[in-house]
Structure formats: structure tokens, C-alpha cells
Amino acid sequence: MKLSAAQRQAIATYLEAPAEPQHRQGLHGLFWSSLMNAIAEEVNGGRDLKGLFTDSFDFINFGLCPGASAEAAARGSDLKNAAVAYPFCQIKLFTEWLDEIVKKVNKGDQKESLERDIKLARISIKHLEDEIKMQQESRAELLLKNYGENGKPPPPPVVKQIESMEATDTGVLESMRVKRSISRGVFFSVEQKRQHIQLETQLQKEIGRNDGLIAKIKSKEDGLTVKNSGAKIAEIITQLLDTEEAIGKRTQALSDIQKRQESLSAVEIESRIRTEIEYVRDLLMLAAKRLHQDSCPFLRPDEPCFTVKEIGACVDRILEFDPRIFYNDRASIFGRPGIVLVPGSGNALFDWKNNMIIVPLIPPAGNCMASIATAMIEYRLDVDEEKRLMTSYNQIPDYKDLRSIFQLRATMTHDYIAWMLSEYKGYRVLGKDTKKWFDHEIAPDRNDIFAPPDYQQFALSSADYKKRAEDLEAALAGNLDECTVEVLWHGSIVAYQNGKFPRAIELLRQLVKKSPEHTFAYYNLGHACMKTMQKQEAIAAFMEFAKRNGQSWWAAIARDHVLHLQRG
């Protein structure tokens, strides 16, 4: 990376005396402007950016400037060596993310955005369809209650009419689709128009009969509720059709982009890359401002910082102690969020637009776990479109009076970090009611075995899970003494999950015999023995786990099971 003598001196001055506030000023802008200018020079020169990313690897990824510190080269080597693959989320260094951005721009960045919008719109349609169904069920329940007498169902003709109301709603939806198509100029044959008119006539008769049925409800309150359900269904149908039209427009836009894709100029490519980089730069500034700091992308030789390996360790903790975090509609469509390590300081944050967790290289006070936890609870709240989690958290007695959504989010973030840092280790720092909420809403199921992330519920498709189970069973078909620890461990988990508790016990006994230090094997053995009513062995397994695991949330659960078994 080309830096002027003045720029190098500014970096060197900061590294020598980082505590001086004036030495940090301007360094954020220096890093990002240098990066964007270097990229612009390469793009306008028609050169491949991979050369720049290779030559300036330490500067771009870790904010290391060899000319400013004799130890920078050694530090860069250490950080490179720590960049290992992580199986449960895609973790990228900044140069890897930049390389993807260049490819995306060259193939049409708007294309990816439109595809994302279409997927989100389809999620929205599913929610709207579910809401219509809920309103229809509520309406039918009230009608059946009001037309039944002395606990008996209404007469068959009335029941049949109530059941047909859903079909009428479907007819209204189809009719409105046709009307909108005609208004957009879609061609309909004479026969198709005739059929539409016949459908409309029939619909009006059905709607009139349904209105008459509703008008005869004796309870004014129930009658009003049923009418409101009908009005709500009509409103949702309109929203559903609007969403379908939006999908159609975006699909057409995708087709148009495909035709224009190959005509991009170097100036346009540079502009789009710059826009993407500026977006991430501004998020880094936000991360620092949340802590009332200036973002600084330059890493001091002795400063604690993230590596890909450290991010993986933090995500492992999240998946262990918040196993349902990725079970949501967004993850099922877009997958788990990607993670990008970027030079800067502050806590990690979640970028909804790109389904990405941005991790500043330098965590506050060197606390990597707190930084990742901050982004993860932000992700959890942002993907909870129905606000179920926030609503239930607001019911905790200590927080019932909190009305500010910002204050509530800040409080939950604080508690979530405490959950991941302290409660995980068995230290009671949360209030009684708050801990109870976390145990119910966030924690692993205390009545289930421990399962690593790739064996947790819904981690695999049913087909992949079946294939893995078959492969494990084949590997376990011979002499168990010859099986590896990994095969025994994974085989025991699959056996337990499929209700084969005696088989799970057999594999776990063999596992602890072969590898006594495999701590969680004792925990799972305790659960499997409870399922088969082997009380004393369950107690022994849980006690052995608690002894080996020491101070932890898991050990506390194991001791609770021991007490329950001893009393029962």
C-alpha cells in the first residue's frame, strides 16, 4: 500500500504513544482513503485486484504498516497462521470479502440485491398466508360457537356454509389477481373474461349469504369480532397481492440487469466497489461511536485482537449456550450470517442488509466474547420479526416498566453478554427472574443431551441427517474397541436422538472407557441412563461430569439432576 511520508509518520506517532487522543485523530480516514485510492488506481489501470490484496495483505486485514513498526511483519505472520477454517459459519478476512465484492460488482451488484429482496418478499407472503389462516380459524370458531346450542354443533347446512367461507376468501383472492392483471394490460381471451364474470357473480352471492349469516349472530361483541376478521382478511389479501406484484417487478428488473451486465465501464466498477467499502467503513465508525470512541484500524504490536480462530471459539460458545439462535425464517432462506473481520475497534455488529456480522479487529478491553455476543443478540432481535423475544423479556418483573425499545434492547444486550461470560461459567450474576427467562428462552434444554453444533436440531436437512446416521451405523457395525472416539461420540448422539437409548448407553460406556477425559460423554450418559430408569448409573455419570467440569452452567444442571434423582 502506497503511503506518503507524512502518513507513515502519523501511524508511527500513534503506535509510539497510543494513549494520546490527538494521535488517533485522522487515522480512521487515513486507512480507508488509502485503501479506496489504491483500489481505484488498480481498477482504472485494468489490473486484477488480487495483486494488491497479496502485496498489502497485512495492511488491509490487520492494519499493520511494516514501515511503522519493526514487529509488524512478525505480528502479521502470527495472525495469518491463526486464520483457520471454521465449519459452522463462513468467516472471512477483509481481503476475502473485498475479493467477493469485486466479483459481485463485475457480475452486477444489483442482481444480488434484487434476489435478496425477492426471497424476503416470499417470506413475507408466507407470513401473510399464515395470518389469513389464523383469522379464518378464529372466525369459524366464533361462528360455530354462536350457532351451536347447549354444547351441540350447529345444523349441518350452517356448518357447511361456515366451512365454505375459506373457499370464498380464496375466490376473492383469485378474482382480485385477475382484475389487477387486466389493469396492467395482460391479455385475456373472450372465454377467460366470461369465466371471470361468472366467478364474480357467484362470489357476490356467496358473500351476500355469508354477510346474512354473520348478521344473525346474537352476541353483538362476537358479531363485531367476526366482521373485523373479515375486514382483516381483505386487508391482508391486498398486502399479499401487493407483495406478489413487487416480486414480479423485481423479477423483470433481474432480467433487464442480465442484459446490461457486460457493458460496465471501469469508472462504474470503481464507483460501486467504493460504495460497498464506504458502507462497511461507516458501520465500523458506528461500532466505535456506540462506545464513545474513535475507530482506529491500526494495530499495535502488543495489542490483543481477534483472529479467525478466536472468532470460531466465540461462535462455538454462542452455539453451545444459545443453540436456537439460527432457527429462524431468515436463516432458512439466506443461511447463517457470514462473519467478516475488519480493521477497526469496537464491538461486533450485525448488518441486516448483507446478512453479515462485522467484527472490528480490536475488541474493547480485549474482550472478544463480549464483542461477538453483542452482535449475536443484535442478530437474534433483528430476525425476530414478530418481536416475540423482546415481548417476553419485557414481562420480566424487573423490566416491566421499561417502555423505551432502545433501553430494553440495551438491557437485554447487557444481560446476554453476562449470560455468555459469567452464567456460562456457573457464576450467578443475573437476577432470579432474568436467569429463569434465559434458561427458558435462550439456554440449551436442560432435559436433553449435549450435542455439538453440527448435530443440533435442524442443523442438517432430514436427508443429510439420515445419510450421516447410516454412515455412523456402518462404522459402528464391527468391534466397538476398534472404533474411534469421534465415531463413538457422534454415534451415541444419533442413537439418543432416534430414541435408541440402550445403544447410546453402550456407545457412551465404550467412549469413557477409551477416553476418560471426554467430559460431556458422562453428561450424556447420565441422560441416557435416566431414559432407561438406571438411576444409580445416571447419578454416578452426572456426579463424574460435575467433578470434571468444575464451575459451569452445565455442572450446575448435572447437580440438579443428581438431587432430583436422589429425592425421587
Q: 424: pLDDT confidence band, cut at 50, 70 and 90?
A: very high
pLDDT at residue 262 greater than cutoff 70: no
Q: Residue 522: pLDDT above 60? A: yes
For residues 542-551, give the mean pLDDT.
92
DSSP state for residue 14 in the 8-state scheme: H
User: pLDDT: is 237 or 332 the higher one?
Assistant: 237
Is a pLDDT exceeding 90 seen at residue 330?
no
- pLDDT, residue 263, reads 59
What does the pLDDT read at residue 109? 53
Q: What was the pLDDT predicted at 328? A: 87
Smallest CA-to-CA distance from 462 within 503, 497, 486 is with 497
Tell the residue number behind the cell numbers 452464567, with chain if given: 423
Q: What is the mean pLDDT of the chain?
A: 89
Is the four-CA dihedral 391, 393, 397, 400 of positive or negative sign?
A: negative
Three cell numbers, residue 246 = 413487487
Model confidence band, residue 448 (pLDDT cutoffs 50, 70, 90) = very high
Taking each helix axis from N to C end, the angle separating 220-260 and 190-215, rounded to the nearest 10 degrees, works out to 150
Give the model confidence (pLDDT) of 377-423 as tens digits.
999 999 998 899 999 999 999 999 988 999 999 999 999 999 999 99
Show Cβ contacts of residue 295 under 8 Å, excluding neighbours closer than 6 positions.
28, 284, 285, 287, 288, 344, 345, 346, 360
Q: How many CB atoms lie within 10 A of CB 215?
A: 10
Using CA atoms, how far apart are residues 240 and 245, in angstroms rounded to an integer?
Answer: 9
What one-character DSSP code corresponds to residue 478? S
Q: What is the pLDDT of residues 482-500, one digit of tens each?
A: 999 999 999 999 999 999 9
Q: What pLDDT score does 453 carry?
A: 86
Q: Tell me what pLDDT residue 348 has.
A: 97
What are the structural domain ranges in the chain?
A: 5-105+268-368, 111-258, 386-441, 453-567
Residue 550 has a pLDDT of: 81
pLDDT in tens, 3-44: 888 888 888 888 888 878 788 888 889 999 999 999 999 888
- For the chain, the C-alpha Rg in angstroms (whole number) is 30
All cell numbers assigned to 170 = 380464496
Q: Is 323 exposed, middle or buried (0-12, 13-18, 19+ CB in 10 A)?
A: buried
pLDDT digits (tens, 9 = 90+) for 195-234: 888 888 999 999 999 999 999 888 889 899 999 999 999 9
pLDDT tens string 85-142: 788 889 999 999 998 888 777 665 567 778 888 888 999 899 999 999 999 999 999 8
Q: What percent of the chain has pLDDT over 90?
A: 57
3-state secondary structure of 340: strand
pLDDT band (50, 70, 90) for residue 253: confident
Percent of the chain with pLDDT over 70: 94
Over the stretch 68-79, which tens digit does the pLDDT of each residue have? 445 566 666 667
Q: What CATH architecture does domain 453-567 belong to?
A: Alpha Horseshoe (1.25)
- What is the pLDDT at residue 66? 61
Question: What's the pLDDT score for residue 444?
Answer: 94
Given this model, what pLDDT does residue 344 score?
A: 93
Helices (H), 422-500: 432-441, 462-475, 485-497
C-alpha cell read off for 64: 499493520
Coil/strand/helix, residue 105: helix
Convert the pLDDT of each residue in 273-315 to its tens digit.
Answer: 899 999 999 999 999 999 988 888 988 878 899 988 899 999 9
